[in-house]
C-alpha cells in the first residue's frame, strides 16, 4: 500500500455460499476452496472509490488482523458500505475473539479497511493457517 | 451395480432423506439422485483417491504417518496429561459418537462443546430465557401460508429446504405450493433467497433488534417513527399486517441474527414477536441449523448432563456457562492446555486468535478429510464418513431424529468416530489405573436390517 492508495472503509459480514458448501467437503486443500471463499464481495458502485478492477487482489484489514483476497462485484447489491467474505479461514483472519460473554464471536458487523494489493497472491487455506499460527506443536 | 434408496444426506440440517446412490460392482459410488450440489459433492468426494487414510503424528515439525495404536495411545496421553482439555466439534457425526464423547469428556475432566457455540448457541440462550413456539417441518409443508426468512439464506446454505419443506412443496392446506404462500425475506443483502421474495426488507446491518421491536409496535397499532433501521413506517406496517393476516406463519432465522450485534437478544425478541403474533393468528419460529447433526449434539448433551453445549466437567460435575465454558472463550483466554477436535473445523471457522491457541497446544484432530485443523494438529486420525460409510442417528433442524444409512464400507483400516473415541477412552482409563469394561458389540436394531433389505435394490 502506498500513501496515495485510497482507503475504503466498510462493514464486513461473513456467511455461507453454496460454492463454499461444496468446497468444504474434501476440497479444503484445493484451489476450489480458494475460489469459493478467498474473495470479498463489494458493491459494484464502490469499485471506483476503491480504485481496483474486479478480480484483483485487495488487503482487508480490521483491528484483529488482515488478509489478502480477491475483490469481486457483489451480485447481491445494492448494499453500499457492506462487504461480504464467505465463512472460512480468509474471513476469520479479521474476526475478533470477543464474544460479548455469549460464546459467539462477532462474525458480522466488523469494521474493515480495504486497499489495493496489486500482484499479491491469495494463499491457500492450509498455507494461510500455517503462516498465521505457529503451525502446530509436537504431541 | 446396486442402488441404495432413502439415503440421508449428511451435510446440512435439512437432513434430506430421499437420496438414491448408485454403487458399481467395485463398490465405488458413481452417482447420486435427488441431492443438491453440496450433498452430491459430499458423496462423490468420499472415495477420492487422494483421501488420507493413515493416522499421522507431528514429529520434527511435520505430520508423519504412524500406526493406529500409536495415534490412539498418544491421544490418550495428551488428554490424561492435560489439566483442562477441550473436546470440541461433534456436529458432523452421529449421536452415538457424541454420546461416547460425553463419557470421554467426563472421564478426563474436560470441556465438551459443539458447533452450536458459533451458530445457534445464542438461540439456545434465548430459548432458555423465553421458550419457543415451534413445530416440525411437516407442519410447515401442510399449513404455512406466510414464510419469513430472517437473516438466513436457504438457497445457498440449505439448498433443498424451500423445495422440500418451506416454500414450493405442496401440502394439505397449501395445495398450490408457493402460490399459496407469501414469502418475506429480511436480509442486509438481496441474496438469491431474497430475489424470490414477495416482500423483501433490507435493514441497516446490526439493527434487527430495533426492527423487530418496531414490528411489535406496529402489530399493536401504536405510533411509529418515520423509519426504523432504515425501513420506512409504511413497509414495517405492511409486513406486520401480512403476518397478522396469515392463517399459519413461520419465521426461519439464521446467522444474520445470531452473529450480529445483540446476538441472543435478537433471538429473544424474534421469539417474543412470534409470541405476540399468536394473539392474532398461529405463528411459529425455527432456527436454521447448519451442520446436519448439530441439533443432535445439543440433544445428546442435554440428555446426558442437562445442558446443551459448553459443558465443563473440570470440577467432576457438569457446569454450563456460555461466555465462560464455551470453546471460543476458553481458546480466546488461552485456558485449554490440550484439545480434541472431531467432526468440525475450527481451524477454518474460528477467529484466527483462537486458532493460534489451538496451534500452540497438543491437539488431536479426527476428520475424514484434510482441513486447516488437521494440518495444525499434533495427532491426526482420519475417520469414516458418517451417513456414507457408517449408519447412525441424527437430528434434523426441527429436532426430528432420523436414522442415517451406510451405503459403502469405509476404506480398510479407517475407523468410525465412535470406535476412535471409544478406543481413546479405554486407553485413558488404563492410564488412569481404572478398570476397563469388556467391549460389547453394538448390534444394529433388527428392524433396521430388515428395513435395509427392503431399501436396497439391484439394477
Ligand atoms: S439440502 Fe442439505 S441435506 Fe439436503 S441434499 Fe442439500 S446439503 Fe444435503
What CATH number is given to the structural domain containing A54?
Answer: 2.40.40.20
Per-residue pLDDT tens over the stretch B264-320: 999 999 999 999 999 999 999 999 999 999 999 999 999 999 999 999 999 999 999
Quick one: average pLDDT of B337-360?
98
pLDDT at res. B454: 40
Residue A59 lies in a domain: yes
Quick one: average pLDDT of A96-112?
97
Taking the C-alpha atoms of residue B190 and residue B14, their distance in angstroms, rounded to an integer, is 23
Residue A2 lies in a domain: no
Query: Which has the closest alpha carbon to B6: B393, B452, B446, B443?
Result: B452
- Whole-number Å distance, alpha carbon B22 to ligand 1 midpoint, is 17
| Range(s) of the domain holding residue A103 | 8-133
Is the separation of the CB atoms in B122 and B258 below 8 Å?
yes
Among A5-19, B131-145, B244-258, the range scoring the smallest mean pLDDT is A5-19
Quick one: average pLDDT of B339-360?
98
Query: Which residue's alpha carbon is nearest to atom 4 within ligand 1?
Result: B16
Q: Residue B451 above 60 pLDDT?
A: no
Tell me the three state secondary structure of residue B32: strand
Residue A139 lies in a domain: no
Q: Residue A5 above 70 pLDDT?
A: no
- Is residue B438 very low, low, confident or very high in pLDDT (cuts 50, 70, 90)? confident
- Whole-number Å distance, alpha carbon A10 to ligand 1 midpoint, is 33
pLDDT at res. B74: 98
Q: Given an 8 Å threshold on Cβ–Cβ distance, is A133 in contact with B188?
A: no
Q: Per-residue DSSP letters for A11-62?
A: EEEEE--HHHHHHTTT-TTSHHHHHHHSEEEE-GGGHHHHT--TTSEEEEEE
Tell me the three state secondary structure of residue B184: strand
Q: Residue B440 above 90 pLDDT?
A: no
Q: Given an 8 Å threshold on Cβ–Cβ distance, is A92 in contact with B350?
A: yes
Query: Which residue's alpha carbon is nearest to atom 7 within ligand 1?
Result: B39
Query: Which has the closest alpha carbon to A48: A77, A94, A100, A8?
Result: A8
Mean pLDDT estimate for chain B: 95
Could you name the CATH architecture of B121-287?
3-Layer(aba) Sandwich (3.40)
* Closest ligand 1 atom to B34 CA: 5
Is the separation of the CB atoms in B278 and B379 below 8 Å?
no
Per-residue pLDDT tens over the stretch B333-345: 999 999 999 999 9
**In this structure, what C-alpha cell is assigned to residue B84?**
483442562
Q: Does A134 touch chain B (CB under 8 A)?
A: yes
Is the separation of the CB atoms in B377 and B392 below 8 Å?
no
- Is residue B443 very low, low, confident or very high in pLDDT (cuts 50, 70, 90)? low
Taking the C-alpha atoms of residue B220 and residue B242, their distance in angstroms, rounded to an integer, is 14
Taking the C-alpha atoms of residue B390 and residue B336, their distance in angstroms, rounded to an integer, is 31
Q: Which of A104, A108, A112 to mutate to test the interface with B (most CBs of B within 10 A)?
A: A104
CA dist list (Å): B437 to A9, B136, B434? 60, 40, 9
- Is residue B196 very low, low, confident or very high in pLDDT (cuts 50, 70, 90)? confident
Q: Residue B437 above 90 pLDDT?
A: no
Q: Given an 8 Å threshold on Cβ–Cβ distance, is B38 in contact with A25?
A: yes
Q: Which residues of A touch B323 (CB under 8 A)?
A: 99-103
Give the CA-trace dihedral at A131, A134, A138, A139, to 10 degrees.
Answer: -110
Q: Given an 8 Å threshold on Cβ–Cβ distance, is A109 in contact with B261?
A: yes
Angle of helix B417-431 relative to helix B68-81, nearest 10 degrees? Answer: 60
Query: Which residue's alpha carbon is nearest to atom 8 within ligand 1?
Result: B39
Sign of the four-CA dihedral B345, B348, B353, B356: positive
- Whole-number Å distance, alpha carbon B97 to ligand 1 midpoint, is 22
- Whole-number Å distance, alpha carbon B330 to ligand 1 midpoint, is 32
Taking the C-alpha atoms of residue B215 and residue A98, their distance in angstroms, rounded to an integer, is 30
ipTM value > 0.90 = yes
Which residue among B45, B355, B362 sits closest to A25, beta carbon to beta carbon? Answer: B45
Residue A3 lies in a domain: no
Which residue among A14, A18, A137 sits closest to B38, beta carbon to beta carbon? Answer: A18
pLDDT at res. B421: 98
Residue A1 lies in a domain: no
Q: If one looks up domain B52-116+292-448 in CATH, what number appears? A: 3.40.50.740
Q: Given an 8 Å threshold on Cβ–Cβ distance, is B351 in contact with A108?
A: no
- Whole-number Å distance, alpha carbon A16 to ligand 1 midpoint, is 14
Which residue among B57, B255, B369 sits closest to A26, beta carbon to beta carbon? Answer: B369
Q: Residue B446 above 80 pLDDT?
A: no
Taking the C-alpha atoms of residue B119 and residue B20, their distance in angstroms, rounded to an integer, is 30
Quick one: average pLDDT of B253-272?
97
Q: Does A126 touch chain B (CB under 8 A)?
A: yes
Q: Does A130 touch chain B (CB under 8 A)?
A: yes
Residues 6+ apart with CB under 8 A from B391: B94, B403, B404, B405, B406, B444, B448
* Closest ligand 1 atom to B14 CA: 3
CA distance B13 to chain A (A): 13
Per-residue pLDDT tens over the stretch A12-68: 999 999 999 999 988 999 999 999 999 999 999 999 999 999 999 999 999 999 999
Q: Which residues of B touch A13 (CB under 8 A)?
A: 188-189, 205
Q: Residue B245 above 80 pLDDT?
A: yes
pLDDT at res. A3: 56
Domain count for chain A, please give it: 1
Query: Which residue's alpha carbon is nearest to atom 1 within ligand 1?
Result: B160
Element (H, E) at B450: helix B446-455
Residues 6+ apart with CB under 8 A from B92: B10, B291, B292, B293, B343, B344, B386
- Is residue B226 very low, low, confident or very high in pLDDT (cuts 50, 70, 90)? very high
Cell 458423496, residue?
B43
Q: Given an 8 Å threshold on Cβ–Cβ distance, is A103 in contact with B51?
A: no
Taking the C-alpha atoms of residue B153 and residue B118, their distance in angstroms, rounded to an integer, is 17
Write down the H helix ranges in B308-396: 327-332, 346-349, 352-359
CA distance A61 to chain B (A): 13
Q: Does A73 touch chain B (CB under 8 A)?
A: no
* Cβ-based burial of B442 (10 A; exposed 0-12, middle 13-18, buried ≥19): exposed
Count how many residues are written for chain B. Answer: 459
- Is residue B256 very low, low, confident or very high in pLDDT (cuts 50, 70, 90)? very high
Taking the C-alpha atoms of residue B394 and residue A95, their distance in angstroms, rounded to an integer, is 31
Sign of the four-CA dihedral B386, A136, B115, B89: positive
CA distance B138 to chain A (A): 25
Q: Does A65 touch chain B (CB under 8 A)?
A: yes
Is the separation of the CB atoms in A13 and A84 below 8 Å?
yes
Q: For residue B233, is the peptide bond before it cis, meaning its omega torsion is within 30 degrees of 0? A: no
Taking the C-alpha atoms of residue B80 and residue B45, their distance in angstroms, rounded to an integer, is 35
- Whole-number Å distance, alpha carbon B161 to ligand 1 midpoint, is 8
How many CB atoms neighbour CB B145 within 10 A? Answer: 18
Give the CA-trace dihedral at B265, B268, B269, B274, to 10 degrees.
Answer: 160
Q: Residue A108 above 60 pLDDT?
A: yes
Q: Does A100 touch chain B (CB under 8 A)?
A: yes
Q: Does A131 touch chain B (CB under 8 A)?
A: no
Per-residue pLDDT tens over the stretch B157-191: 999 999 999 999 999 999 999 999 999 999 999 99
- Is residue A4 very low, low, confident or very high in pLDDT (cuts 50, 70, 90)? low
pLDDT at res. A139: 83
Phi, psi of B274 (to 5 degrees): -60, -45
CA distance A79 to chain B (A): 6
Taking the C-alpha atoms of residue B136 and residue B95, their distance in angstroms, rounded to an integer, is 20
pLDDT at res. A134: 84
Query: Which has the closest alpha carbon to B159: A22, A66, A46?
Result: A22
Per-residue pLDDT tens over the stretch B359-406: 999 999 999 999 999 999 999 999 999 999 999 999 999 999 999 999
- Whole-number Å distance, alpha carbon B13 to ligand 1 midpoint, is 8
Taking the C-alpha atoms of residue B366 and residue B75, their distance in angstroms, rounded to an integer, is 11
pLDDT at res. B424: 98
List for chain A the helix, strand, coil content (%; round to 5).
20, 30, 50
Mean pLDDT estimate for chain A: 94
Q: Which of A26, A64, A67, A103 to mutate to test the interface with B (most CBs of B within 10 A)?
A: A103
Amino acid at each position: 500500500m502506498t500513501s496515495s492508495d485510497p482507503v475504503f472503509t466498510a462493514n464486513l459480514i461473513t456467511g455461507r455460499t453454496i460454492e463454499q458448501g461444496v468446497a468444504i467437503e474434501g476440497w479444503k486443500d484445493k484451489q476450489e476452496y480458494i475460489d469459493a471463499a478467498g474473495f470479498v464481495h463489494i458493491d459494484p458502485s464502490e469499485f471506483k472509490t476503491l480504485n481496483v478492477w474486479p478480480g484483483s487482489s485487495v488487503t482487508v484489514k480490521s483491528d484483529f488482523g488482515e488478509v489478502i483476497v480477491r475483490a469481486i462485484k457483489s451480485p447481491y447489491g445494492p448494499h453500499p458500505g457492506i462487504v461480504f467474505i464467505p465463512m472460512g479461514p480468509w474471513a476469520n483472519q479479521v474476526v475478533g475473539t470477543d464474544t460479548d460473554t455469549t460464546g459467539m464471536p462477532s462474525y458480522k458487523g466488523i469494521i474493515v479497511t480495504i486497499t489495493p494489493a496489486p500482484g499479491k497472491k491469495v494463499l491457500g487455506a492450509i498455507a494461510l493457517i500455517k503462516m498465521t499460527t505457529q503451525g502446530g506443536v509436537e504431541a | 451395480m446396486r442402488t441404495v434408496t432413502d439415503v440421508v444426506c449428511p451435510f446440512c440440517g435439512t437432513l434430506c432423506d430421499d437420496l438414491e446412490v448408485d454403487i458399481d460392482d467395485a463398490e465405488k459410488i458413481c452417482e447420486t439422485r435427488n441431492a443438491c450440489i453440496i450433498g452430491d459433492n459430499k458423496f462423490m468426494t468420499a472415495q477420492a483417491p487422494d483421501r488420507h487414510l493413515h493416522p499421522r503424528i507431528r514429529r520434527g515439525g511435520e505430520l508423519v504417518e504412524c500406526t493406529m495404536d500409536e495415534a490412539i495411545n498418544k491421544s490418550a496421553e495428551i488428554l490424561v496429561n492435560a489439566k483442562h482439555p477441550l473436546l470440541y466439534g461433534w456436529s458432523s457425526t452421529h449421536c452415538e459418537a457424541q454420546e461416547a464423547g460425553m463419557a470421554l469428556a467426563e472421564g478426563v475432566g474436560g470441556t465438551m462443546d459443539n458447533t452450536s457455540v458459533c451458530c445457534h448457541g445464542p438461540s439456545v440462550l434465548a430459548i432458555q430465557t423465553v421458550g419457543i413456539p415451534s413445530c416440525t417441518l411437516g407442519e410447515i409443508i401442510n399449513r404455512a401460508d406466510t414464510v419469513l426468512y430472517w437473516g438466513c439464506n436457504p438457497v445457498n446454505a440449505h439448498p433443498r429446504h424451500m423445495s422440500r419443506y418451506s416454500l414450493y412443496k405442496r401440502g394439505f392446506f397449501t395445495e398450490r405450493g408457493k402460490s399459496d404462500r407469501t414469502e418475506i425475506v429480511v436480509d442486509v443483502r438481496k441474496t438469491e433467497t431474497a430475489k424470490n421474495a414477495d416482500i423483501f426488507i433490507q435493514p441497516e446491518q446490526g439493527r434487527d433488534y430495533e426492527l423487530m421491536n418496531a414490528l411489535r409496535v406496529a402489530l399493536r397499532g401504536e405510533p411509529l417513527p418515520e423509519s426504523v433501521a432504515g425501513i420506512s413506517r409504511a413497509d414495517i406496517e405492511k409486513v406486520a399486517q401480512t403476518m397478522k393476516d396469515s392463517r399459519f406463519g413461520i419465521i426461519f432465522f439464521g446467522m444474520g441474527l445470531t452473529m450480529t450485534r445483540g446476538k441472543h437478544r435478537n433471538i429473544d425478541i424474534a421469539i417474543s414477536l412470534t409470541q405476540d403474533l399468536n394473539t392474532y393468528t398461529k405463528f411459529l419460529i425455527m432456527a436454521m441449523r447448519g451442520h446436519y447433526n448439530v441439533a443432535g449434539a445439543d440433544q445428546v448433551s442435554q440428555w446426558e448432563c442437562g445442558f446443551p453445549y459448553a459443558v465443563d466437567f473440570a470440577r467432576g460435575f457438569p457446569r454450563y456457562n456460555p461466555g465462560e465454558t464455551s470453546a471460543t472463550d476458553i481458546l480466546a483466554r488461552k485456558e485449554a492446555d490440550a484439545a480434541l477436535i472431531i467432526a468440525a473445523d475450527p481451524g477454518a471457522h474460528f477467529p484466527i486468535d483462537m486458532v493460534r491457541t489451538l496451534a500452540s497446544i497438543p491437539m488431536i484432530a479426527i476428520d475424514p478429510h484434510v482441513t486447516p485443523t488437521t494440518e495444525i494438529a499434533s495427532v491426526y486420525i482420519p475417520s469414516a464418513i458418517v451417513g456414507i460409510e457408517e449408519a447412525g442417528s441424527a437430528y434434523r433442524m426441527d429436532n426430528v431424529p432420523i436414522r442415517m444409512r451406510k451405503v459403502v464400507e469405509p476404506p480398510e483400516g479407517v475407523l468410525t468416530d465412535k470406535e476412535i473415541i471409544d478406543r481413546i477412552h479405554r486407553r485413558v482409563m488404563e492410564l488412569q489405573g481404572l478398570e476397563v469394561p469388556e467391549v460389547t458389540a453394538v448390534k444394529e436394531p433388527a428392524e433396521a436390517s430388515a428395513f435395509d433389505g427392503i431399501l436396497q435394490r439391484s439394477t
